[in-house]
Amino acid sequence: MTLLSVRNLRVTFDTEAGKVEAVRGVDFSLGRERLGIVGESGSGKTMTGRSVLRLIRPPGRIDADEMTFDGIDLTRASETEMRGLRGHRMAMVMQDPKFSLNPVMRVGAQLMEGLRRRDHVNKTEAHKRAVAALEAVQIRDPDRVMDSYPHELSGGMGQRVMIAMMLIPNPDLLIADEPTSALDVTVQAEVLSILDALVRDRGMGLIFISHDLRLVARFCDRVLVMYKGKIVEELAARDLLNARHPYTRGLLNCLPRIGGPREPLPVLDRQADWAR
């Protein structure tokens, strides 16, 4: 079943230096699956993800021939309707918990605030559900975490708290933007297995934005490869490491090889590229 359908999505920034086309006509659809978006820095991955939630601030502008989420026309939805969807039926997890958690509020209070506001439950019930959400992301000492401020948590813990917060409303669609890139490998694997279980058990659709082709090849079902604001290739994740498209091959050739020399990822020369 198609959960999200996007046709000819464009994101444009009117800057003093002229028009920057960050996303230039992107088409994709998503079911209850794990869709990876890969591509070098600046290729438009984040802007594509944020567009779905209509989270692009002026001077950025979103245009699309179609952007439908579960039958709802996102291009025509009012801001009030969008607020009703965001953080409820569609949610986004960002790379750094620092930007999503309130630094001066204890974790428990943040989790409970959303629950009480949205679901109008009493304090005891909100507390119970917040603890259950932390347990669902495999936090073993939820009471300590509830009492902590965000800065008192490790990166991995902060990431789990953020995922727990996004998952309390049981969204149908989760957009995860580099959700594990700040984490060490063990914690990364744990966070991925939590996301994986959510797609499997709750039938959620997941858009997983990442630089890490190996990770996406292992973790996702399908992958979009973006370059300069366009999708240059769409393929099954298991075929990613054997992709034939020259750009995708280029990205793959930049993967560090064990024992081999490390080559830097090529980065677009934005001035030159956008002027073209």
Which residues would be at the binding site for ligand ATP (CB under 6 A)? 13, 15, 20, 22, 39, 41-47, 60, 211, 270
CB of 240 to ligand ATP, least distance (A): 17
- Kindly tell me which of 172 and 177 has the beta carbon lying closer to ligand ATP: 177
- For ligand ATP, the closer of residues 51 and 110 by Cβ is 51
d(CA 173, CA 74): 14
Q: Between vectors from CA 119 to CA 108 and to CA 116, what angle results, nearest 5°?
A: 35
Nearer to ligand ATP, 47 or 145 (CB): 47
Nearer to ligand ATP, 94 or 167 (CB): 94
CB of residue 122 to ligand ATP, shortest distance in Å: 41
Smallest gap, in angstroms, from Cβ of residue 168 to ligand ATP?
Answer: 26
| Environment class of 80 (CB within 10 Å of its CB; exposed 0-12, middle 13-18, buried 19+) | exposed
C-beta of 50: minimal distance to ligand ATP in Å? 8
- Structure token pair of residue 130: 């917040």
Nearer Cβ to ligand ATP (16/79): 16
CA atoms 170, 171, 172, 175: torsion sign = negative
Please give the sequence-ordered ranges of beta strands (E in DSSP) within the chain, or none if there are none. Answer: 4-15, 18-30, 34-38, 60-63, 66-69, 72-73, 90-93, 173-177, 205-209, 222-227, 230-236
Q: Which is nearer to ligand ATP, 24 or 32 (CB)?
A: 24
Greatest Cα-to-Cα distance within the chain, rounded to the nearest angstrom: 59
Contacts of residue 56, defined as CB under 8 A and 6 or more positions apart, other chains included, come to 11, 47, 50, 62
Rounded to a whole number of angstroms, the minimum distance from the CB of residue 64 to ligand ATP is 15
The least distance separating ligand ATP from the CB of residue 255, rounded to whole angstroms, comes to 16
Residue type, 113: E
